[in-house]
Amino acid sequence: MDKRSRRRWREQGEGRPQPARPSGGHTRQPRPTRPCRPSGARRSLAEPREIEEGVGLAVSAFRQGQEEVFAMLVGSLALRWDEATVASSEGAAGSVTTAAPVPSIIERRLEEAIGTAWAHGWQPADLPRAVGRKLSGRHLRLSVDAIAGESRRYAGSEDADPEWLRQLEEIEARVWWNSQSDHLGCWIWREGLDRADGLRHALELLGALWELPGLPRLCVPPSEWGHSAGSAGGGRGGRRAVRGQGADPRVLHRVRALLAKAESTTFPDEAEALTAKAQELMTRHAIDRAMIEPDGGPGAIPSARRIGIDDPYASAKSYLLHQVAAASNCRVVFSKDLGFSTVFGFDSELDAVELLFTSLLVQATAGMAAAGVDQASGARWRSRSFRQSFLVGFAVRIGERLREAAAAATEEAEADHGGRLLPVLMSRAEAVKQERDQTFPDLAHHRLGANDPAGWTAGRVAANRASLGTGPGLETARSA
């Protein structure tokens, strides 16, 4: 921010003589909640162009770490909002600022930034997760509201992507405020903030959205829906034109019931048996669907889905996802810096993988906590190394059990479908691999540490402790 712009905004923001700083300290006089004006004279309000400039300068100051400049600009924008409110209440409805107030400009900027993020590969479930990691829960809630406001332009479209709409529902992106009111003002009131603090959160969110890196496009963004045939389910750059059907809801209901029992039981053997049964059921369902539409059906085209992976022990949790996905012939790439893994597969398998991974993570977390309580007292049992080793050992053991269940289901299906089955499964596996390689052409392979024998053993549930030194591998996206 140059000196001329800073001086102009300081002069416009103050607009009146400022109280002298006390000589004995650094305490400032509190700013009035409403602007002070000489009686009988209305001070001219800022033009929309100046507000636009102020928003841009504030966001730039935030991104550059200029805290004092950012605070000054936030205060100036809050003052203009105060002035517009007073002017409107006193009958100045015809003023330019009332037609284009500070909150409206910021809301529009937020929606524009979100639309740009969609064009650069982000999806509804990704944005709040990234905002929460970088800023705060309050910023996350504001981002969800901004997504809800932006989605009003396309949510009712006939060309809307069902998976996109599912993600909007998942993050609870709903317009809860009155359409005649400005959203930012309603959000500030709901959060119990004053205007200056609310503006600070909004401008910080806008700065974070501007800094988002580009991601591989897993689907066509809303701005391109309806521009080409079948684009709603399209893949990167429109290459993949049709999205397959997800898993049969009846199958998912049965799987959920099995996993709910597995989560609630206190007997490890019973939990493993129920989980294996769920995997067997999902594998058989996927095979039957593959045989129905092996060549030209929509399910014959692989897709991808991002699943959030939170700290702590994010790498070990992603490895658990890798094991679950591998049993369903899916591939996983972990993006550690962004806090998610990208799973490649067919839509019916992706539904099952996400469901099973969520359940197993609950079981692993409960088992890890129980292991820390049951063992002899001491910090070692609750150390980071113990927990990391537990999760890796748990993932390896789960992978073994899931592969056994999948193999049993495949053998049973082969008896029904005969020699046609193997070529179909090989073709689908190759299609998934190609989709992953084209999306992430430059992958790095990392080793996970599992150096605590007690944690490894507890995680495997009395299995052997092989390969403790090097640990299993995990494919990750290379950092730019």
The pLDDT value recorded for residue 24 is 46
* Cα 293 to Cα 169, 419, 425, distances in angstroms: 29, 16, 12
- Asked whether the beta carbons of 381 and 458 are under 8 A apart, the reply is no
Q: Could you read off the pLDDT of 294-312 as tens digits, one per residue?
A: 444 444 678 999 998 988 8
d(Cα 140, Cα 308) in Å, to the nearest integer? 15
Residues 6+ apart with CB under 8 A from 87: 42, 45, 95, 97, 98
Instruction: Name the E strands within 39-146.
Output: none
Q: What percent of the chain has pLDDT over 90?
A: 35
Which range among 7-16, 37-46, 87-96, 218-227 has the greatest average pLDDT? 218-227
Q: Could you read off the pLDDT of 380-396 as tens digits, one per residue?
A: 456 788 888 888 888 98
Q: Could you read off the pLDDT of 67-103 as tens digits, one per residue?
A: 999 999 999 999 999 888 887 776 544 444 344 489 9
- Asked whether the beta carbons of 308 and 342 are under 8 A apart, the reply is no
Place of tokens 């060549």: 295
Q: Could you read off the pLDDT of 169-205 as tens digits, one per residue?
A: 999 999 999 876 789 999 999 999 999 999 999 999 9
Identify the CA nearest to 371 among candidates 460, 255, 238: 460
The pLDDT value recorded for residue 249 is 63
- When comparing pLDDT for 375 and 104, which is higher? 104
Per DSSP, the three-state class of 304 is strand
Mean pLDDT of 50-62: 94
Mean pLDDT of the chain, nearest integer? 76
The pLDDT value recorded for residue 216 is 94
Mean pLDDT of 154-177: 89
Mean pLDDT of 417-439: 84
In the structure encoding, which two tokens stand for residue 244, read together?
């397959």
Place of tokens 């593959």: 290
Output the pTM of the full model: 0.75
Residue 228 predicted with pLDDT over 60? no
Mean pLDDT of 339-366: 85
* CB-count burial class (<10 Å; 0-12, 13-18, 19+) for 27: exposed
Cis bond before residue 312 (omega within 30° of 0): yes
Neighbours of 247 (CB within 10 A): 21
- When comparing pLDDT for 228 and 352, which is higher? 352
* Cα 242 to Cα 120, 159, 326, 427, distances in angstroms: 20, 12, 24, 18
In the structure encoding, which two tokens stand for residue 442, read together?
């430059």
